[in-house]
Chain A
Amino acid sequence: GAVVSQHPSWVICKSGTSVKIECRSLDFQATTMFWYRQFPKQSLMLMATSNEGSKATYEQGVEKDKFLINHASLTLSTLTVTSAHPEDSSFYICSARETSGAYEQYFGPGTRLTVT
C-alpha cells in the first residue's frame, strides 16, 4: 500500500519558538494532503487542506498565520507551528490522497509536539 511519512516523530520545543513538521508521500503523488490535530482521548480534528501549488484551505477556528502550510511538491507538505505555546501541544497527523483520485486517505505516523 501507499506510504506516508512524517518527520519528526516527536519534538519538544520551548514556548515562543517555531516548529516545522514534514509530511511526505513516499511511493505516490499527492495533489492533496490534510493536516489533523488530535488531543488525548479525542478524535482527529481537520485543521487544513493542503493543495500542491496553491494556498491551503483552513477549517473554521484554525489560525492560518499560526499554522503555516506549504505544499511545494506532489510529495511534500509542511506544517509550521509558529510561536508555539503549551496549548499547541498535541499529536499532529497528516494524510494524503493519490493524484489519481482514489477515495482512500493514507495517514502518516504522526508527530507528537510538546511545548514547554
Chain B
Amino acid sequence: GQNIDQPTEMTATEGAIVQINCTYQTSGFNGLFWYQQHAGEAPTFLSYNVLDGLEEKGRFSSFLSRSKGYSYLLLKELQMKDSASYLCAVGDYKLSFGAGTTVTVRA
C-alpha cells in the first residue's frame, strides 16, 4: 500500500519562496508527481520525478530522494494566483494521492 504525508496548510507572502514537503512509504515506486488544484477544479500537472535530484521548471522546482522516501515542491516568486492546493502523488500506472497542502499567498 501507499502512505503519503504532506503538511495540511502553509501561508506565505507574495514574492517569497515556499517549500512543500512530501514523505512517502510505498510497496513499489515508479515515480512521484506534483499537481496543483484550485478550489472546485481538477488537478493540473506540475512535475514528475523518477530519479533522485532536482527538476526545475520555471518558478516551480521539485526534488526527489528515493532512499529517504522524500520529495519537495519549491515555489519561487510567489504570486497570488499560486494560492491553491498542492497534491503529492506516487505511482505510475495508478496514482495514490496525498491529502494535499493548501497554500495561501498573502499580499
Question: Do B98 and A110 have beta carbons less than 8 Å apart?
Answer: no
Interface members, chain A 72-112 (any B CB < 8 Å): 91, 93, 103-110, 112
Known: A103-B48, A104-B48, A108-B42. A46 touches B94 (CB 8 A): yes
Q: Chain B interface mostly helix, strand, loop or mixed?
A: loop
Q: B105 an interface residue at 8 Å Cβ cutoff?
A: no
Please, which residue of chain B has its CB at the minimum distance from the CB of A112? B40
Known: A43-B97, A103-B31, A104-B48. A110 touches B42 (CB 8 A): yes
Q: B52 an interface residue at 8 Å Cβ cutoff?
A: no
- Which A residues are in CB contact (< 8 Å) with B96? 46
Q: A44 an interface residue at 8 Å Cβ cutoff?
A: yes
Known: A103-B48, A103-B92, A104-B48. A44 touches B41 (CB 8 A): no
Interface residues on B, range: 20 to 34
Interface members, chain B 50-107 (any A CB < 8 Å): 50, 87, 92-100
A108 to B97, CA, bound (A): 16
Select one of B42, B93, B94 contacting A107, CB under 8 A.
B42
- Which A residues are in CB contact (< 8 Å) with B95? 34, 46, 105
Interface residues of chain A, those whose CB is within 8 Å of chain B, are 32, 34, 42-46, 49, 91, 93, 103-110, 112
Give min CB distance, B51 to chain A, whole Å: 13
- Which A residues are in CB contact (< 8 Å) with B40? 91, 110, 112
**Given A34-B94, A43-B87, A91-B40, list of 16 further CB < 8 A pairs?**
A34-B95, A43-B97, A43-B99, A43-B100, A44-B43, A44-B97, A45-B97, A93-B42, A103-B92, A104-B45, A106-B45, A107-B35, A107-B42, A107-B44, A110-B40, A110-B42
- Which B residues are in CB contact (< 8 Å) with A103? 31, 48, 50, 92
A107 to B87, CA, bound (A): 13
Highest count of chain A CB atoms <10 Å: which of B42, B44, B96? B42
Please, which residue of chain A has its CB at the minimum distance from the CB of B95? A105
